[in-house]
């Protein structure tokens, strides 16, 4: 979702930066953005604390995670359908017209809120609740839960991701992966588009058929 459907990925990192600055007076380097992208709130916080070489109690960890969410939610006060990334509303509308089922497999616990505010909820057959998933991305669990919710096998599905962790999760689940972003970010994907506006259904179908027929 973040960075695929809605233009919210950079807001997450902006919130992490604010949290680190306000609590520890420290700046986070750009390269941490890629390392935290697409992974759960607690996993992201662990990556950041490791980088800062700071150890905190369980209670403080919980408070920091909650504070980051408050900062992030404040950034979302004006969230509207304008934040849907280029081409994505048309793309999902087209999928639905073709009778293709759709599920949201985001690590974000703010998924339902964001879909609601951007007017995208109605396009989804299933939304996986990440709080019910034991192992987050890059583990396959969240994508396997999505395929199960749609009553499909992983082979019948295609996943869209803007994060390394997400591509790894798709691969581990045996789902054809489409990456959105630079080669550095999602170069491991089965198919890559530089941005959402470039996504082309025919290319996606072709790579899915090619991989599935050879499997």
Query: Should residue 117 be labelled a site residue for ligand GL1 when binding is judged by CB under 6 A?
Result: no
User: Does 118 sit near ligand GL1 (CB under 6 A)?
Assistant: no
The distance of closest approach from Cβ of residue 153 to ligand GL1 in the complex, given in angstroms and rounded to an integer, is: 25
**Distance, CA of 118 to CA of 139 (rounded, Å):** 28
Contacts (CB under 6 A) with ligand GL1, residues 39-98? 39-41, 44, 69
Q: How many C-beta atoms lie closer than 10 Å to residue 90's C-beta? A: 12
- Tell me the site size for ligand GL1, rule CB under 6 A: 15
Q: For ligand GL1, which stretch binds (CB under 6 A), given 27-35, 106-114, 138-146, 179-187?
A: 106-114
Specify the stretch interacting with ligand GL1 by CB under 6 A; choose among 76-84, 103-111, 144-152, 192-200.
Answer: 103-111
Q: How far is the CB of 145 from ligand GL1 (least distance, A)?
A: 15
Residue 114 contacts residue 8 (beta carbons within 8 Å): yes
Cis preceding linkage at 138, omega within 30: yes
In the complex, what is the shortest distance from the CB of residue 17 to ligand GL1, in angstroms, rounded to a whole number?
Answer: 11
Q: Work out whether strand 126-127 and strand 103-104 pair parallel, antiparallel, or are unpaired.
A: parallel
Part in contact with ligand GL1 (CB under 6 A); list of ranges 32-40, 82-90, 173-181, 188-196: 32-40
> Residue 169 interacts with ligand GL1 (CB under 6 A)?
no
CB atoms within 10 A of CB 126: 16
Residue 141 interacting with ligand GL1 (CB under 6 A):
no
Nearer to ligand GL1, 37 or 171 (CB): 37
Q: In terms of CB distance, is 147 or 165 closer to ligand GL1?
A: 165
Residue number with CB closer to ligand GL1 (129 or 151): 129
Among 17, 20, 32, 38, binds ligand GL1 (CB under 6 A): 38
What backbone torsions phi and psi does residue 201 show, to the nearest 5 degrees? Answer: -60, -45
Q: Contact positions toward ligand GL1, by CB under 6 A? A: 2, 12, 36-41, 44, 69, 106-110
């Amino acid at each position: 979702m973040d960075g695929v459907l809605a233009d919210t990925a950079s807001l997450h990192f902006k919130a992490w930066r604010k949290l680190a600055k306000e609590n520890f007076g420290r700046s986070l380097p750009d390269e941490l953005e890629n390392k935290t992208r697409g992974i759960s709130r607690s996993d992201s916080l662990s990556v950041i604390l490791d980088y800062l070489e700071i150890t905190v109690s369980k209670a403080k960890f919980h408070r920091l995670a909650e504070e980051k969410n408050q900062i992030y939610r404040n950034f979302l006060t004006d969230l509207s359908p304008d934040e849907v990334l280029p081409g994505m509303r048309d793309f999902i509308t087209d999928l639905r017209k073709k009778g293709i089922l759709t599920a949201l497999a985001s690590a974000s616990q703010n998924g339902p809120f964001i879909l609601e505010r951007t007017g995208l909820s109605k396009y989804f057959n299933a939304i996986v609740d990440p709080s019910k998933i034991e192992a987050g991305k890059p583990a396959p669990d969240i994508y396997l839960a999505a395929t199960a919710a749609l009553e499909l096998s992983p082979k019948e599905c295609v996943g869209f991701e803007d994060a390394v962790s997400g591509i790894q999760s798709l691969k581990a689940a045996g789902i054809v992966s489409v990456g959105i972003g630079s080669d550095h970010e999602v170069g491991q994907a089965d198919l890559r588009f530089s941005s959402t506006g470039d996504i082309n259904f025919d290319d996606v179908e072709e790579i899915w058929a090619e991989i599935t027929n050879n499997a």
